[in-house]
């Protein structure tokens, strides 16, 4: 079951990265492209295992950087930095609540680009920054926050539609059945 | 909660990231293009999806509209034929002048059309990917244009695709010349992150007399871009560093945010 979820998350990351590179609707309408990888990372951290979190950071990050002018491998670290603490503390998080998902998605979507820009600045490759970047950051945060509950709902639906259900044992035991008919002794 | 196995995986990931980040630029560029090529099947699907509405629209065009279009094309064709006669004479005159002063005139530009297939998903860069690669003769640092003017330069080349950094990206600095009486030369550098149609022209001479609407073209200094490619027009200017030099905002002719088709200027 976990393997199915992990594969599904990686496939979604593959499509999300491709979609971000090909469809630039949000960039035209809102002035910034929305990144779905942090939202996926929140789902992976809360609902899958550490292997899926690591694989998502690696493949999502490499895919994103392959289309971007970022140095290759740069996005891996912010994604991991966002996913790992949530994975470690996931027992304390009310992951079922859409509000919690929204807040976590917002925090992750705000933190990941900030960390990426910090890494770029510390690597001596200053990106395109200005007052407009604040608006872009807000759009990315809000977009990621709104997308996260949908990501959970989508994977929930996939899990329900495509995943198998473990057979549950009933409490019925024939040897303890109370027979209530009138038998002749 | 703090199991050791929870740290082994992330440790390996961090190590892998550091190793990839420390790869030599050429290896990283090749690896980047190799990873990008994994998305090629999806690219074909996306192109087909984009083409579908146009195909559907074509299939439902009425006969009346088609005839109207044929008529307008016929008129346009006649007009172009007349213009061709005029340009024939101008071309001959131009050729004679070229023969006389060969060193002053350069060969006409050799252009290759390319489609923009992807855009940078990161908001802090301005780059695109085009569907021409090394098999089409593309090499790094070739100028990329639109019919309106300069768009950027090729930064890295794969077999089938190339990455182009656009004007306004911090990695694309161009020596530009203002077509004013003084022919001021400056460096066209990154603009703001929000409006992609504006870029900054810096390091112009202090006290440069710039006016709104003056044309900005490539200066030819630096060897990457040929001289005279239109870039844009001056919007406004201001003196910086206590009048040491002048900085101007340039409205770009080619809007980097809306590129669909570009031309690569071949050597």
Contact yes or no for B171 and A80 at CB 8 A: no
Average pLDDT of span B85-96? 77
Average pLDDT of span A6-16? 93
Bridge partners, residue B165, by sequence: B127, B153
For B102-144, write each residue's pLDDT tens digit. Answer: 554 555 678 888 999 889 999 899 999 998 999 999 999 999 9
For B169-223, write each residue's pLDDT tens digit. Answer: 988 889 999 988 888 899 998 877 778 888 999 998 888 888 889 999 999 888 8
Q: Is residue A183, in this structure, part of any structural domain at all?
A: no
For A91-138, write each residue's pLDDT tens digit. Answer: 888 888 999 999 999 999 999 999 999 999 998 889 988 888 999 999
User: How far does the CA of residue A157 sit from the closest CA of chain B (Å)?
Assistant: 24
Confidence of residue A175 (pLDDT cuts 50, 70, 90): confident
Q: Is residue A184, in this structure, part of any structural domain at all?
A: no
Contact yes or no for B17 and A15 at CB 8 A: no
Contact yes or no for A72 and B20 at CB 8 A: yes
Domain that holds residue A25: 2-176
User: How far does the CA of residue B221 sit from the closest CA of chain A (Å)?
Assistant: 24
Confidence of residue A182 (pLDDT cuts 50, 70, 90): low
Q: Is residue A185, in this structure, part of any structural domain at all?
A: no
For B30-84, write each residue's pLDDT tens digit. Answer: 888 888 888 888 888 877 777 787 778 777 778 888 888 899 998 888 888 877 8
Query: Is residue B100 over pLDDT 70?
Result: no
Contact yes or no for A133 and B169 at CB 8 A: no
Number of Cβ within a 10 Å radius of residue B46: 18
Give the strand pairing for B198-205 and B174-178. Answer: unpaired
Given a contact cutoff of 8 angstroms between Cβ atoms, the answer to whether B143 and B153 are in contact is yes
- Asked which of A1-5, A34-38, A45-49, B78-82 is least confident by mean pLDDT, the reply is A1-5
Task: Identify the sign of the CA torsion B206, B212, B214, B219.
Answer: positive
Phi, psi of B169 (to 5 degrees): -85, 145
Q: Is residue A130, in this structure, part of any structural domain at all?
A: yes
Contact yes or no for B10 and A51 at CB 8 A: no
d(CA B150, CA B265): 10
Q: Is residue A127, in this structure, part of any structural domain at all?
A: yes
Q: Is residue A103, in this structure, part of any structural domain at all?
A: yes
Per-residue confidence (pLDDT) for residue A167, from 0 to 100: 72
Confidence of residue A184 (pLDDT cuts 50, 70, 90): low
Q: In chain B, how long is the greatest CA-to-CA distance?
A: 84
Average pLDDT of span B141-156? 90
Q: Which residues of B195-214 are buried (b: 16+ CB within 10 A; e: fewer)?
A: bbbbbbbbbbeeebebeeeb
pTM confidence score: 0.81
Q: Which of A16, A18, A30 to mutate to test the interface with B (most CBs of B within 10 A)?
A: A18
**Residue A56 belongs to a domain with what CATH number?**
1.10.1760
For chain A, the average pLDDT equals 89
Domain count, chain A: 1
Confidence of residue B89 (pLDDT cuts 50, 70, 90): confident
Q: Is residue A182, in this structure, part of any structural domain at all?
A: no
Average pLDDT of span B141-157? 90
Contact yes or no for A27 and B257 at CB 8 A: yes
Distances (CA, A) of B96 to B100, B107, B176: 6, 14, 30
- Chain A residues whose CB is inside 8 A of the B119 CB are 21-22, 24, 27, 33
Q: What is the H or E stretch that residue B233 is in?
A: strand B230-240
Residue A130 is classified by DSSP as S
Q: Which domains does chain B have, with CATH numbers?
A: 5-57 (no CATH), 109-267 (2.40.10.350)
């Amino acid at each position: 079951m976990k393997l199915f979820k992990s594969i599904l998350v990686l496939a979604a990351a593959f499509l999300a990265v491709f979609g971000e590179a090909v469809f630039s609707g949000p960039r035209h309408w809102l002035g910034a492209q929305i990144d779905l990888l942090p939202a996926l990372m929140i789902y992976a951290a809360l609902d899958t295992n550490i292997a899926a979190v690591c694989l998502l950071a690696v493949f999502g990050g490499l895919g994103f950087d392959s289309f971007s002018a970022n140095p290759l491998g740069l996005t891996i670290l912010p994604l991991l930095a966002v996913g790992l603490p949530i994975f470690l503390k996931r027992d304390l998080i009310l992951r079922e609540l859409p509000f919690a998902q929204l807040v976590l998605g917002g925090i992750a979507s705000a933190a990941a680009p900030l960390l990426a820009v910090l890494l770029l600045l510390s690597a001596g490759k200053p990106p395109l920054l200005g007052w407009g970047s604040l608006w872009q950051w807000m759009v990315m945060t809000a977009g990621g926050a709104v997308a996260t509950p949908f990501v959970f709902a989508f994977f929930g639906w996939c899990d329900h539609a495509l995943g198998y259900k473990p057979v549950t044992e009933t409490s019925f035991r024939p040897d303890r059945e109370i027979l209530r008919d009138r038998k002749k002794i | 909660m703090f199991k050791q196995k929870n740290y082994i995986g992330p440790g390996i990931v961090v190590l892998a990231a550091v190793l990839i980040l420390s790869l030599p630029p050429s290896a990283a560029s090749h690896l980047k293009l190799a990873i990008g090529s994994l998305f090629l099947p999806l690219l074909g699907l996306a192109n087909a999806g984009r083409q579908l509405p146009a195909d559907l629209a074509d299939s439902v065009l009425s006969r009346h509209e088609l005839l109207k279009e044929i008529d307008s094309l016929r008129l346009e064709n006649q007009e172009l034929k007349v213009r061709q006669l005029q340009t024939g004479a101008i071309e001959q005159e131009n050729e004679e002048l070229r023969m006389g002063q060969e060193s002053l005139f350069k060969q006409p530009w050799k252009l290759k059309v390319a489609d923009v297939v992807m855009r940078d998903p990161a908001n802090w860069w301005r780059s695109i990917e085009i569907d021409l690669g090394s098999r089409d003769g593309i090499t790094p640092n070739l100028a990329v244009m639109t019919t309106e003017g300069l768009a950027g330069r090729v930064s890295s080349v794969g077999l089938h695709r190339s990455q182009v950094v656009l004007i306004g990206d911090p990695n694309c600095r161009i020596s530009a010349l203002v077509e004013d009486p003084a022919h001021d030369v400056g460096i066209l550098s990154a603009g703001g992150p929000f409006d992609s149609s504006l870029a900054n022209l810096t390091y112009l001479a202090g006290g440069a007399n710039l006016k709104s609407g003056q044309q900005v073209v490539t200066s030819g200094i630096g060897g990457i871009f040929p001289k005279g490619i239109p870039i844009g027009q001056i919007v406004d200017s201001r003196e910086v560093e206590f009048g040491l030099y002048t900085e101007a905002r340039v409205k770009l002719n080619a809007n980097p945010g809306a590129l669909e088709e570009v031309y690569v200027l071949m050597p």
